[in-house]
Amino acid sequence: MAKPLPVSPLASPLPALGTVRGVRLGAVAAGIRYQGRTDLVVAEFDAGTTVGGVFTRSKCPGAPVDWSRTALKGGLARALVVNAGNANVFTGKAGIETCRATAESEASLAGCPATEVFLASTGVIGEVLPVERITAALPALHASLTENGWEAAARGIMTTDTFPKAAVRKTEIDGVAVTIQGIAKGSGMIAPDMATMLSFVATDAALPAPVVQAMLSSGTIHSFNAITVDSDTSTSDMVLLFATGKAGNQAVSSVDDPRLASFRTALNDLLLDLALMVVRDGEGATKQIRVRVTGAVSDQSARIVAKAIADSPLVKTAIAGEDANWGRVVMAVGKCGEPADRDLLAVAIGGVTIASEGTVVEGYDETPVVAHMKGQDIDIDVDLGLGDGQSTVWTCDLTHGYIDINGSYRS
């Protein structure tokens, strides 16, 4: 068994997790790739549970992504099966057969059609997933599921993650108390083109599938889809939101229903919380970086500029070295192809404006910026001075630890 990675210095503590009515979870060590740790997770949902999902836009997705994307068309979910250690990507017909066999095996245990079983896999690409280890482990795992299995599930989906990621929110719909609770995994190969590596969120709210889908799609834009660790989009990215309906709130038919205001705020907050945990567990990360771009010609343009800054190895290594090298930020702005004017933009780090109107601010004192760079949370603000467009992206620094982890990932 590989030596465990040291826990990220930015690790977020695991919150006190409760239950979500209508959800039972569990994890087991199936020996898929890892030895001596859990690597297979199952969640089962009460009948009538609705579901929404967002998936990688990679042109080379894994077989589980294809399976779950198809299952999503039905709008209902009774079970979720997740394995860690093997991504079931580039495995040809064997990967498709693994999905079919896994879904059918779980469906027989959950008492539902295979089309209501969702699948996700994470880990090494290009190795055939030993499906027999999954199907052999499912019966005992099914028998051990519990409403309190959330922490076990959070740990069971980890790969190079150094800490389990989970979040919970309590809110209401039209005066009826509801719970939202979710888990995520992700550390490297993070530049989501929809979501993140894997995240699974459940609520006991009663919501029709179209509303669940619309709220999740909207919520990922400024959370999972606004983070980057290394600019690489995974073949396996997936976020699913399940709504069991057990809270008993009156049904809503439209995502614009004002009764959903508090729920929407809580869901969006939870999604961002989980997404930032992924950044804080970025492989080798020692600092979290918030990049905010304003004054762009559009929000989309601001987003592209912010991503260029956040993805720049030169910016990320400067921050790892605690060097407030604002010239690298300007470089990233200029290279990305979006409208920018050297003599209009301004750059601030830690709330201190360093450069404006094409040059260093007169009388600039680096002392507070140097102090800011020594912290764990770094803020970079760029105002392009061209319009009202704005966007915020989160990333982490780039250290030698990233090379150490990824240079030995398959060994």
Q: Is 148 assigned to a binding site?
A: no
* Angstrom distance (rounded) from CA 297 to CA 359: 22
Sequence-ordered alpha helix ranges (H) in 222-358: 261-280, 299-311, 313-320, 326-335
Distances (CA, A) of 104 to 54, 340, 365: 23, 54, 65
- For 170-185, b/e burial (b = at least 16 CB within 10 A) is ebebeeeebbbbbbbb
Nearest-10 crossing angle of helices 131-143, 92-110: 20
Query: Which secondary-structure segment (H or E) carries 67?
Result: helix 63-71
Q: Is 322 assigned to a binding site?
A: no
- Residues 51, 242 contacting (CB under 8 angstroms): yes
DSSP state, residue 256 = T
The position carrying tokens 């360093």 is: 354
CB atoms within 10 A of CB 392: 16
First to last CA, the chain: 10
What tokens were used for 303?
């987003």
Q: Is 249 assigned to a binding site?
A: no
Which distant-in-sequence residues (6+ apart) come within 8 Å of 74 by Cβ? 115, 116
Q: Is 283 assigned to a binding site?
A: yes
Q: Is 73 assigned to a binding site?
A: no
Q: For this structure, is 203 an active site residue?
A: no
- For 21-53, b/e burial (b = at least 16 CB within 10 A) is bbbbbbbbebbbbbeebbbbbbbbbeeebbbbb
* Angstrom distance (rounded) from CA 79 to CA 107: 8
Q: Is 411 assigned to a binding site?
A: yes
Q: Of 196, 235, 244, 395, which residue is the catalytic one?
A: 196
Distances (CA, A) of 165 to 72, 184, 246, 308: 24, 5, 25, 27
Binding residues for substrate: 159, 185, 196, 283, 406, 411
Binding residues: 159, 185, 196, 283, 406, 411
Active site residues: 196
